[in-house]
């Protein structure tokens, strides 16, 4: 009897990303840092705060700083529409709202399907990008939230 060796299987890690739009740009963040999607758009302004800080909101007794990702990424400031949301995340032991134009989907992506980020994707600074994932109809830019927030301090 002849034995045929099976090809070695490599285990490919998969990650999940919450995706959303900022302008026409489809972005994704690691689902593990996402707490909730929130419609509370009325923020309390913070005097003297940088331009990218829209203000703060009260989330069931916890104060969350709301960041306008459009401003951070060098786009015109966001205007509220019926699709605008706060993507509430936990970063560096803080609760932060990312003010986004609209929420998209949850994507499960294999590490093999994430390409290195070009230095500049649709005007977004390459330092903020973990990688990109190409889909049939769009490209998802995977955002490094820690670097985005660190750059704003």
Can you tell me the distance from the alpha carbon of 118 to that of 53, in angstroms, rounded to the nearest whole number? 27
- pLDDT score of 151: 62
Q: What is the pLDDT of residues 130-151, one digit of tens each?
A: 899 998 888 899 998 888 887 6
Q: What is the pTM of this model?
A: 0.84
The pLDDT of residue 9: 46
120 or 148, higher pLDDT? 148
> The domain 17-151 belongs to what CATH superfamily?
CheA-289, Domain 4 (2.40.50.180)
Residue 49 corresponds to which tokens in the numbers above? 């705060």
Rounded mean pLDDT, 26-50 = 93
Neighbours of 16 (CB within 10 A): 13
Domain ranges of the chain: 17-151
Structure tokens at 65: 């700083």
Tokens at 1, concatenated: 């009897």
């Amino acid at each position: 009897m002849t034995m045929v060796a099976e090809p070695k299987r490599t285990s490919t890690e998969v990650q999940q990303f919450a995706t959303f739009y900022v302008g026409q740009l489809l972005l994704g963040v690691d689902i593990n840092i996402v707490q909730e999607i929130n419609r509370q758009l009325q923020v309390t302004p913070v005097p003297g705060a940088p331009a990218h800080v829209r203000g703060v909101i009260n989330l069931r007794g916890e104060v969350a700083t709301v960041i306008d990702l459009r401003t951070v990424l060098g786009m015109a400031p966001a205007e509220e529409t019926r699709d605008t949301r706060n993507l509430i995340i936990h970063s560096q032991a803080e609760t932060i709202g990312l003010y986004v134009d609209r929420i998209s989907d949850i994507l499960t992506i294999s590490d093999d399907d994430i390409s290195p980020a070009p230095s500049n994707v649709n005007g977004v600074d390459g330092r903020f990008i973990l990688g990109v994932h190409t889909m049939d109809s769009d490209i998802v830019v995977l955002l490094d939230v820690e670097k985005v927030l660190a750059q704003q301090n």
